[in-house]
């Protein structure tokens, strides 16, 4: 074999420019990837469902390091193909720090979570969709252990009926679809499902929603909302009160937006609580 072929077959040492020393003395708070779409399997109360997640993944970069290893974010995602829940999100962000030679980092992804629901009277089943975001932050403390901050956010569409309209009208009352958005910080050692969070909002609304209703169901929803009127202030307070008693939640932000049916603007309210 000639020298040229021998040289070609020998493994070559390739320079790692991004690990080289940087002279500008400027640390970077977050560096990584965003806008990444990746398939997921989501663990739900009725089984595992496929989804597509929209990911952001980043780490803090010390001042002396030129760049991070972007490909390792993708490798981490592809390694974790088990069904996603609160426990698996914690495992993933904990593994990210040593993989990226980092002392702090973040994983965030948003996807559509589907829940199979049975209509209140007919029992006909349909899927309801909810926009869900998981955010996990990891930081190495002074002792070398890794602290985890885990957040779950869910946007839940519900129905609200105006108490004032009901009171002043001889018949009927205006109602509208509302969005309840809950962002909760969780104890990373305990499990909380998306369905747990969804139920907190739906149980406090004038009525919850379903993807498919028969006529008897429509009658039930209409009368349920009429018997359970809520201002946007009532809605946000009642949901926050429901979540406040959950020991798995460390802090919470609850927002409610009513897309008013008799105005061209929305009504909005927000509550933030730290236990």
User: Which tens digits make up the pLDDT trace of 162-196?
Assistant: 999 999 999 999 999 999 999 999 988 878 899 99
Q: Which pLDDT score, from 0 to 100, does residue 47 have?
A: 86
**Token pair for 168:** 């002043």
Question: For position 57, which CATH number holds?
Answer: 3.10.270.10
User: Which residues, given as ranges, of the chain have pLDDT below 70?
Assistant: 1-12, 15-20
pTM over 0.85: yes
Which helix (DSSP H) or strand (DSSP E) does residue 140 occupy?
strand 125-140
* C-beta separation of 255 from 267 below 8 A: no
Cα 58 to chain centroid, rounded: 17
Q: Is 1 inside any structural domain? A: no
Domain around 239? 28-274
Specify if 199 maps to a domain. yes
Residue in the block written with tokens 């720090």:
97
pLDDT value at position 21?
A: 72
Looking at the domain assignment, is residue 2 inside a domain?
no
Backbone angles phi, psi at 87, to 5 degrees: -70, -40
CB atoms within 10 A of CB 9: 7
Beta bridge partners of residue 148, listed in sequence order: 138
Domains in the chain, number: 1
Please check whether residue 13 lies inside any domain of the structure.
no
**The predicted structure's pLDDT at residue 8:** 40
* pLDDT of the residue at 250: 95
- The pLDDT of residue 14 is 73
- pLDDT tens profile 202-243: 999 999 999 999 999 999 999 999 999 999 999 999 999 999
Alpha-carbon Rg for the chain, nearest whole angstrom, is: 24
Cβ-based neighbours of 170, under 8 Å, separated by 6 or more: none
Query: What is the per-residue pLDDT for 25?
Result: 85
> Which residue do the tokens 């040593």 mark?
98
* Within-domain flag for 4: no
- Which residues, in sequence order, are bridge partners of residue 131? 112, 155
Residue 23 lies in a domain: no
């Amino acid at each position: 074999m000639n020298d040229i072929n021998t040289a070609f077959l020998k493994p070559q040492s390739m320079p790692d420019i991004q690990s080289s020393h940087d002279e500008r003395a400027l640390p970077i708070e977050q560096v990584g990837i965003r806008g990444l779409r990746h398939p997921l399997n989501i663990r739900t109360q009725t089984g595992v469902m496929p989804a597509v997640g929209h990911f952001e993944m980043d780490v803090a970069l010390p001042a002396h390091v030129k760049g991070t290893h972007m490909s390792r974010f993708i490798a981490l995602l592809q390694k974790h193909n088990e069904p996603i829940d609160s426990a698996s999100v914690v495992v993933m962000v904990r593994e990210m720090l040593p993989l990226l030679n980092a002392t702090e980092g973040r994983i965030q992804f948003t996807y559509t979570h589907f829940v199979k629901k049975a209509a209140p009277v007919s029992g006909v089943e349909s899927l309801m969709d909810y926009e869900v975001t998981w955010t996990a932050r990891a930081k190495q403390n002074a002792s070398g252990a890794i602290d985890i901050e885990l957040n779950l956010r869910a946007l839940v569409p519900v129905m609200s009926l105006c108490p004032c309209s009901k009171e002043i009208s001889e018949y009927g009352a205006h109602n509208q679809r509302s969005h309840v958005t809950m962002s909760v910080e969780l104890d990373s050692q305990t499990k909380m499902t998306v369905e747990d969070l969804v139920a907190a909002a739906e149980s406090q609304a004038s009525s919850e929603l379903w993807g498919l209703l028969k006529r008897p169901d429509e009658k039930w929803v209409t009368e349920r909302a009429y018997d359970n009127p809520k201002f946007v202030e009532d809605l946000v307070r009642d949901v926050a009160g429901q979540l406040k008693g959950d020991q798995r939640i460390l802090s919470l932000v609850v927002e409610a937006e009513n897309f008013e049916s008799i105005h061209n603007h929305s009504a909005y309210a927000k509550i933030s609580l730290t236990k």
